[in-house]
């Protein structure tokens, strides 16, 4: 998410005090420069009746960069790109199933939870937050937070990102009690001496989290065993609006703090990280919604991107539900008892906690009738295999050690990774018709363009209608809106390509600073066009024409957004020269991170896309794509800043260096300035010459003439005037309707009816139908208000601003329709969407 990062030493207590929850700034509270999570072990029960997820999370830590450098380092600043704490970004390792799943003993974990939870005194406040009775009044003092090493004066305070959670208990985990754990100790025998035992536990965790990549099975096994170990003492904790603060008496420094802790907690029904709703078949479900607050209302975590970790997840649900989550393995549920299943997933690649995704519902797997699609795709794209792969195989990776697919020849030659599709039962046939055929084509096209797939498998889920976006990509799983299922394959194909592109840009390569969203969304938008052209096997000239048309549509959207938004929200690198810097402890504030309207803005998508397009035109498409493959090979598994990409680009193509293509000029023109960049203004004048655009302009002229004649002539005369209209592509239809919307002349009823019939507008994709709904509203086509109502109910990912159109005309029937639709969908609507719509209706 974008916004201004506030640098400097910010005490957690003062940040919590200064931030007004009603305002739109988002705090990242975790003190990652002192302690860094390396692994999460989640063990959860889901209760749909109470709409609560309850259980434990065990966090395994390593001291952060400040602690490693010693107390003297506190006088400096936290390096933004130095050791493993600041350069981890993982691409997914090679998938090998766990061979000893029984060691997890999910049933044991369930019983352990019941024993530990039973009899706990409820110390919750009126908001459901908890703390333990021994909490000292000084726990939130600035001295505790800023003077972390503080030369023995106060206890060290661990701060995690957390909100909308009821924390019940926090305890240290006795990892030394795990049978066989002696292999992770340097000493021959265990001792009961307090300090030595504390050091021994931390040493065990250190040895466990630093195991080499080829011992990943063993590492997962012992993570599980350690997470099931008994507690060895409760820790003091306090919950705030945005944080969970934990300390242990007499522990003064991070390196002495317990490196394995267990947190007992439960979510709240109104928690903002997950949505409890019903699917399109009216069955209950719950899923994570991503931004703006990511997962801190699902589990206590460290949100800053630098906090890269692996995880294991065990989820218990009634047997009628399917659990999908970010995991390398294709989970097979284990039956614990009649009516109760346990689902287990894991990842061995370090990723930020914000990328974790889960969806639980009565999903139906959409099966293909045959495997002809995969066979056809691999055959058609096989000629591109050597071209893509030979450039990527070989050389060493620049990320921290993990089982990396980029170093696996078998993975590198895999054009289409294993994939599954899930949907509500009522959408199964539609998904089988559209999505199953598209996924292998889009995956093959992505491989032909960038090479090795960073992830070993993929699940695609059609989420409920209240999902606020057309799609969302997470490790191993993509959410798609039902809006992509109508009107043929175009919208679904382009959206799939966009989300698949995030596997490389956004996941395998991530932004080191959250404010640089364009690194994820700009690249995905640019590559969406490239992948889709390859997937359709378009000739070069045809692909170029379609991309020119798409550029014009995006230009129009960007131009409108720049004209109607605050200037500070139009800057792609709002922190400018301070981008990537961290505070003394690692805390920061994301300016406007909770701004509901900003969530719907497309500036970082569009402006980022146009920057990449500008560079491709200057350098040449072929050379540019070859460079992107090199860039992926070098930076996969890492976090980057804008200048990392630009510097490597200009170093790789030195003949292009100059004033226009200097790093400084590009950053100033495209990233650090609001408004429309001058090079984009110049290019925008050329798109009217595109053949596909000219076709639309001719059709617009015809429709204006038809409308003029319809307003003047009799019914009998009109029937004698037959006009031949050309068949248009979906993007051409979007442009046609946008041009007609801009006409000041009213379109008469006959024209609207003819327009609808000519292009079958009610059957087109959601992008086209959205413009058609705008025309219906503008020209008060009352007999089609039902189509607007259907769109607002079923296409919530795109319908938000139609409410504004209904209100702006001050027409009683239209306003009544807006109120009616909002009343029907408000309780299920995404929180940000509901807030924006409510403001429109006031």
Q: If you write DSSP's letter for every residue of 352-404 in order, what string do you get?
A: EGGG--EEEE--EE---S-SHHHHHHHHHHGGGHHHHHTTTSSS--SSPSS--
Quick one: DSSP state of residue 457?
A: -
CA distance readout (Å), 104 to 356, 626, 694, 811: 21, 45, 63, 62
Q: Whole-angstrom Cα distance, residue 33 to residue 317?
A: 37
From the number of C-beta atoms within 10 Å of its C-beta (0-12, 13-18, 19+), residue 119 rates as: exposed
Q: In the sheet where 231-234 sits, what is the strand order?
A: 231-234, 165-173, 260-267, 52-63, 35-47, 308-318, 340-352, 334-337
Angle at 161 between CA 228 and CA 71, to 5 degrees: 90
> What span, in angstroms and rounded, lies between the C-alpha atoms of 299 and 309?
14
| Phi, psi angles (nearest 5°) of residue 518 | -60, -25
Q: β-strands 334-337, 340-352: how paired?
A: antiparallel
Q: With contact defined as beta carbons under 8 Å apart, do 478 and 326 qualify?
A: no
CA 179 to chain centre: 39
**Residue 506 — φ and ψ, nearest 5°?**
130, -35
Question: With the C-alpha atoms ordered 74, 75, 78, 81, is the resulting torsion angle positive or negative?
Answer: negative
Alpha-helical runs (H) found in 267-328: none
CA–CA distances in Å: residue 791 to residues 233, 786, 799: 55, 9, 7
Instruction: Give the SS3 label for residue 62.
Output: strand
* Burial category of 749 from C-beta neighbours within 10 Å (exposed 0-12, middle 13-18, buried 19 and up): middle
- Which residues are CB-neighbours of 721 under 8 A, at least 6 positions away? 706, 709, 713
Strands 458-462 and 419-423: parallel
Residues with catalytic annotation? 499
Q: Give me 676's structure tokens.
A: 């429309």
**How many secondary structure helices (H) and strands (E) does the chain include?**
28, 24
């Amino acid at each position: 998410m974008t916004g201004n990062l506030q640098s400097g030493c910010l005490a957690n207590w003062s940040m919590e005090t200064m931030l007004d929850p009603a305002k739109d700034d988002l705090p990242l509270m975790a003190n990652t420069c002192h302690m860094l999570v390396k692994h999460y072990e989640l063990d959860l029960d889901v209760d749909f009746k109470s709409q609560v997820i309850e259980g434990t999370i065990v966090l395994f830590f390593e001291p952060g960069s400040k602690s490693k450098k010693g107390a003297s380092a506190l006088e400096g600043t936290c390096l933004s790109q130095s050791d493993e704490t600041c350069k981890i970004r993982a691409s997914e390792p090679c998938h090998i199933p766990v061979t000893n799943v029984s060691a997890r003993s999910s049933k044991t974990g369930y019983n352990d939870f019941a024993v530990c939870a039973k009899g706990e005194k409820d110390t919750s406040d009126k908001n459901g937050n908890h703390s333990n009775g021994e909490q000292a009044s000084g726990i939130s003092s600035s001295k505790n937070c800023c003077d972390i090493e503080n030369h023995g004066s106060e206890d060290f305070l661990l701060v995690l990102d957390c909100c909308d959670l009821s924390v019940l208990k926090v305890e240290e985990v006795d990892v030394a009690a795990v049978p066989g754990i002696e292999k992770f100790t340097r000493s021959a025998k265990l001792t009961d001496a307090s300090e030595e035992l504390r050091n021994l536990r931390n040493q065990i965790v250190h040895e466990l989290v630093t195991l080499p990549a080829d011992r990943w099975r063993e590492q997962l096994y012992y993570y599980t065993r350690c997470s099931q170990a008994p507690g060895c003492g409760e820790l003091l904790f306090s919950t705030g609006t945005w944080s969970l603060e934990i300390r242990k008496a007499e522990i003064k420094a991070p390196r002495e703090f317990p490196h394995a802790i267990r947190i007992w907690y439960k979510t709240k029904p109104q928690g903002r990280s997950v949505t409890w709703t019903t699917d399109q078949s009216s069955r209950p479900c719950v899923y994570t919604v991503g931004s703006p607050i990511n997962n801190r209302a699902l589990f206590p975590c460290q949100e800053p991107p630098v906090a890269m970790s692996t995880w294991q997840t065990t989820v218990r649900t009634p047997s009628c539900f399917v659990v999908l989550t970010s995991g390398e393995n294709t989970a097979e549920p284990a039956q614990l008892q009649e009516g109760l299943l346990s689902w287990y997933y894991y990842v061995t690649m370090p990723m930020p906690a914000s990328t974790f995704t889960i969806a639980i519902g009565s999903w139906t797997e959409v099966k293909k009738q045959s495997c002809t699609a995969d066979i056809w795709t691999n055959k058609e794209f096989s000629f591109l295999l050597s071209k893509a792969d030979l450039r990527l195989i070989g050389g060493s990776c620049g990320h921290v050690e993990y089982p990396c697919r980029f170093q696996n020849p078998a993975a590198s030659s895999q054009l289409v990774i294993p994939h599954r599709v899930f949907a509500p039962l009522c959408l199964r046939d539609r998904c089988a018709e559209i999505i199953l055929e598209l996924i292998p084509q889009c995956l093959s096209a992505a491989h032909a363009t960038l090479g090795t797939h960073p992830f070993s498998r993929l699940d695609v889920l059609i989420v409920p209608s209240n999902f606020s976006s057309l799609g969302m990509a997470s490790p191993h799983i993509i959410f798609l809106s039902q809006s992509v299922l109508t009107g043929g394959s175009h919208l679904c194909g382009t959206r799939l390509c966009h989300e698949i592109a995030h596997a490389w840009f956004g996941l395998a390569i991530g932004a080191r600073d959250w404010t640089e969203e364009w690194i994820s969304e700009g690249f995905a938008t640019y590559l969406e066009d490239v992948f889709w052209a390859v997937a359709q096997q378009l000739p070069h000239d045809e692909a170029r024409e379609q991309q020119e048309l798409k550029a014009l549509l995006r230009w129009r959207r960007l131009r409108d957004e720049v004209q109607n938004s605050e200037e500070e929200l139009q800057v792609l690198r709002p922190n400018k020269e301070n981008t990537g810097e961290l505070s003394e402890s690692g805390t920061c504030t994301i300016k406007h991170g909770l701004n509901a309207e900003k969530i719907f803005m497309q500036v970082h998508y569009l402006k980022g896309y146009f920057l990449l397009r500008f560079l491709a035109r200057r350098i040449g498409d072929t050379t540019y794509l070859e460079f992107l493959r090199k860039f992926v090979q070098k930076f996969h598994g890492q976090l980057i800043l804008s200048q990392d990409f630009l510097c490597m680009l200009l170093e790789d193509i030195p003949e292009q260096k100059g004033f226009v293509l200097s790093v400084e000029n590009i950053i100033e023109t495209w990233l650090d300035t609001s408004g429309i960049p001058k090079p984009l203004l110049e290019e925008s004048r050329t798109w009217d010459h595109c053949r596909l655009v000219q076709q639309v302009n001719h059709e617009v002229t015809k429709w204006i003439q038809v409308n003029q004649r319809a307003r003047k002539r009799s019914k009998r005369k009109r029937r004698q005037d037959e006009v031949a209209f050309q068949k248009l592509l979906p993007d051409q239809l979007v442009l046609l309707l946008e041009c007609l919307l801009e006409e000041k002349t009213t379109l008469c009823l006959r024209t609207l009816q003819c327009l609808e019939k000519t292009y079958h507008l009610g059957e087109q994709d959601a992008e086209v139908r959205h413009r058609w709904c705008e025309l219906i509203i503008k020209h008060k086509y009352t007999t089609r208000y039902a189509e607007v109502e259907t769109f607002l109910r079923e296409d919530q990912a795109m319908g938000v601003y139609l409410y504004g159109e209904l209100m702006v005309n001050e027409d009683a029937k239209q306003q009544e329709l807006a109120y009616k639709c909002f009343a029907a969908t408000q309780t299920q609507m995404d929180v940000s969407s509901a807030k924006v719509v409510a403001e429109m209706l006031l």
